[in-house]
Amino acid sequence: MSGILEGKRVLITGVLMESSIAFHTAKLAQEQGAEIILTAFPRPTLTERIAKKLPKPTKVIELDVTNDEHLGRLADVVGEELGGLDGVVHSIGFAPQDALGGNFLNTPFESVATAMHVSAYSLKSLTMACLPLMQNGGSVVGLTFDAQYAWPQYDWMGPAKAALEATSRYMARDLGKQNIRCNLVSAGPIGSMAAKSIPGFAELASVWDTRAPLEWDLKDPEPAGKGVVALLSDWFPKTTGEIVHVDGGLHAIGA
């Protein structure tokens, strides 16, 4: 029986650790039949080492989503490797330390601008860089952390994720005519490298211990990876502008 991504070609960003959602997305995508290519920044060698743990060898290319030169050559590099693309996974987020950890009211705009550029605007710029390779339509899937709420310690990453969610909806509006779907997976907290960069992450994650209807495991990124792979597949052919929660159901519980 073939996998749900059989014959698909997918670009995946954000594979930094074996514990990341992006790594498990890449692993599952390969297991489900996809050809993949990975991007990495600022340390492609780190991603190359992690990529060796995937079921099949895959190319890693350097990509800084704030660098116009990197974005400008992306289609050529990926096209040479895969010929085209059917899916793009945006698993990129960053905020300077002074934009996190309870410093919300004192964060300078320069740090806010960096968080917005890397974490939200890059969904648009990455997709547009890949657009020439998506002549037959496709699926863009990003990762968010529920921006409906103000989370402890999360500070300016919260507005950045809200901007990401709005960006995905506008992209769904404008790219639908090209049969490109744009959706997000809103995942619960995972003990990844990104999480470790958030001061007080344990306090934020502890909310899941008491409120999530389904038991949540900080060490298990696979459920979120499965959500991403499902949205990359043809099993959601008419779903776009959506946010699929893979968070143990916490988003549905008030207290």
Q: Give per-10-residue mean pLDDT for the chain (255 aa).
A: 93 94 98 98 93 97 97 98 98 95 96 98 98 98 96 94 98 98 96 68 85 94 98 98 97 89
> Is residue 252, in this structure, part of any structural domain at all?
no
Give the pLDDT score at 143: 98
| CATH number of the domain enclosing 168 | 3.40.50.720
d(CA 205, CA 218): 8
> Is residue 164, in this structure, part of any structural domain at all?
yes
**Which uninterrupted H or E stretch holds 138?**
strand 138-144
> Is residue 155, in this structure, part of any structural domain at all?
yes
> Is residue 150, in this structure, part of any structural domain at all?
yes
Considering the candidates 121, 149, 154, 219, report the single residue annotated as catalytic.
154
Domain range for residue 41? 7-247
Extract the tokens encoding 14.
């954000």
> Is residue 2, in this structure, part of any structural domain at all?
no
> Is residue 98, in this structure, part of any structural domain at all?
yes
> Is residue 133, in this structure, part of any structural domain at all?
yes
Annotated catalytic, 170?
no
> Is residue 254, in this structure, part of any structural domain at all?
no
Annotated catalytic, 154?
yes
pTM for the whole thing?
A: 0.96
Considering the candidates 53, 161, 219, 226, report the single residue annotated as catalytic.
161
58 φ, ψ (degrees, to nearest 5): -145, 150
Give the pLDDT score at 202: 79
Indicate the number of domains in the chain.
1
